[in-house]
Amino acid sequence: DPTIAFLASTEDWSSGDDSWLFKLSEIRAATNDFSNTTKLGQGGFGKVYKGKLKGGRQIAVKRLEGCSNEDPNKRVLLDWTKRYKIIKGIARGLLYLHVDSQLRLIHCDLKPANILLDEKMNPKIADFGTARLFPSDQSSERTINIAGTFGYMPPEYVQHGEISLKTDVYSFGVMVLEIISGQKNGFLDIFGSSAHLASYVYMFHI
């Protein structure tokens, strides 16, 4: 059986314990082969089971359905309708922040980790810890405090500290590339080096 990682929850788990890596056979034994009698609940990406390890510790295991972190061909794939819905929803959210709200709000750290999806796959923009508020008549500013996530920040922000509506638009564009291609930004290219998705796509465009 392959060794897999799983989400565990126990009251007495300490940082000094062994790795949270178990063989599939161990997890099957702990959950009675993922029996319905051990099922705690179900979410959008899988079911949650309670289990007991050989040592007697109680655990909770989330079993992802139709998903594999190791095999790209077995990852959960969204159909084009859902992808378009997510892209359109994020764009609408940005339109509100940039244009329709009373103050212009630049998120400054737009990335997949800050996009939450509800059960109907409606996107919600989250984490405004680095956001900037502009009056309605202001469109840009410069700062020496660069904050954000590499790979999602536009060159003018990284190099010159220039913040504008284009800051979020660039980040949105990178996410669109990820959603369309199914490729994560900062993936490993054929040479084993980390590749910036926008640069990678631009190279083929020209």
Shared domain for 125 and 173, answered yes or no, is yes
Shared domain for 94 and 183, answered yes or no, is yes
Query: Last residue of a domain, which of 16, 42, 74?
Result: 74
The catalytic position among 33, 109, 118, 189 is: 109
Shared domain for 100 and 183, answered yes or no, is yes
What's the rounded mean pLDDT across residues 153-182? Answer: 91
Residues of the chain with pLDDT > 90: what percent?
A: 25
Sequence-ordered list of residues with C-beta below 8 angstroms from that of 176, at least 6 positions apart, any chain? 87
Shared domain for 12 and 38, answered yes or no, is yes
Distance CA 81, CA 87 (A): 10
Shared domain for 61 and 88, answered yes or no, is no
**Can you give the pLDDT at residue 57?**
79
Query: Last residue of a domain, which of 53, 74, 95?
Result: 74
Shared domain for 125 and 89, answered yes or no, is yes
Sequence-ordered list of residues with C-beta below 8 angstroms from that of 111, at least 6 positions apart, any chain? 149, 152, 171, 174, 175
Annotated active-site residue 1? The verdict is no
Q: How many domains does the chain have?
A: 2
What's the rounded mean pLDDT across residues 182-189? Answer: 66
Q: Domain holding 70: CATH number? A: 3.30.200.20
Q: Are 100 and 165 in contact, with CB atoms under 8 Å apart?
A: no
Q: Is 39 annotated as a binding residue?
A: no
For residue 15, what are the domain limits? Answer: 3-74
Query: Last residue of a domain, which of 74, 93, 114?
Result: 74
Shared domain for 87 and 138, answered yes or no, is yes
Residue 76 pLDDT greater than 80, yes or no:
no
Distance CA 82, CA 134 (A): 32
Cβ atoms within 10 Å, residue 24: 12
Shared domain for 96 and 134, answered yes or no, is yes
Distance CA 111, CA 125 (A): 9
Shared domain for 119 and 172, answered yes or no, is yes
Sequence-ordered list of residues with C-beta below 8 angstroms from that of 193, at least 6 positions apart, any chain? none
**Can you give the pLDDT at residue 147?**
85
C-alpha pair distances (Å), 105 with each of 96, 100, 160: 9, 10, 20
Tokens encoding 73: 């061909």
**Can you give the pLDDT at residue 49?**
85
Shared domain for 136 and 175, answered yes or no, is yes
Question: pTM surpassing 0.85?
Answer: no
**Can you give the pLDDT at residue 172?**
96
**Can you give the pLDDT at residue 174?**
93
- When the pLDDT of each residue in the chain is averaged and rounded to a whole number, the result is 77
Residue 64 confidence class, pLDDT cut points 50, 70, 90: low
What's the rounded mean pLDDT across residues 23-37? Answer: 87
Shared domain for 12 and 94, answered yes or no, is no
Shared domain for 131 and 193, answered yes or no, is yes
Q: Are 185 and 147 in contact, with CB atoms under 8 Å apart?
A: no
In what helix (H) or strand (E) does residue 78 lie, and over which residues does it extend? none
Q: Domain holding 192: CATH number? A: 1.10.510.10
